[in-house]
Amino acid sequence: MKNSNDEIDELIKSALSQEEAAYYNELDEQSLLDNALSVYRGKLGWLAVLTAVIMVIVFGLAIYCLIQFLEADNTKDMILWAAGMFGAMMSSSMLKLFHWMQMDKNAILRELKRVELQVGVLSAKLAEQK
């Protein structure tokens, strides 16, 4: 059984020209990998690359703090290395959150473009009927 979204998509595709239909197909759902890679494209791609590099460095720092924590002899040093590891992991988590928010933003923009295209097709059909 087809759901209403599939029926609406087919109706829209039938009303579009070939060029518009190709553009509409580009706006379709992306896989997780495509979604993740889309963060590195566009105007803020350089920022995503920079945060990815910083994320790797901070994660390496967290591993170093963990090793130093395991080798520490007294409680004060253990607490300091654990705090360093906690801070590094929090920083890495925040940078990951930035990437996920960018992926979500890209998905929302893609859906807005689909809605704009649907409104454009509808207004063109209404103009033809008058």
* DSSP letter assigned to residue 2: -
72: region left, alpha or beta (phi > 0 left; psi from -120 to 50 alpha): beta
Q: Which of 107, 106, 125 is nearest to 117 (CA)?
A: 125
Question: For the chain, what is the radius of gyration of the CA atoms?
Answer: 24
pLDDT of residue 123: 84
pLDDT of residue 1: 42
On the 0-12 / 13-18 / 19+ scale of CB atoms within 10 A, 87 is middle
pLDDT of residue 12: 64
Q: Which residues contact 96 (CB under 8 A, 6 or more apart)?
A: 55
Q: Which residues of the chain have pLDDT under 50?
A: 1
pLDDT of residue 100: 93
CA-based torsion, 10, 14, 16, 19: positive or negative? positive
Q: Can you tell me the distance from the alpha carbon of 66 to that of 58, in angstroms, rounded to the nearest whole number?
A: 12
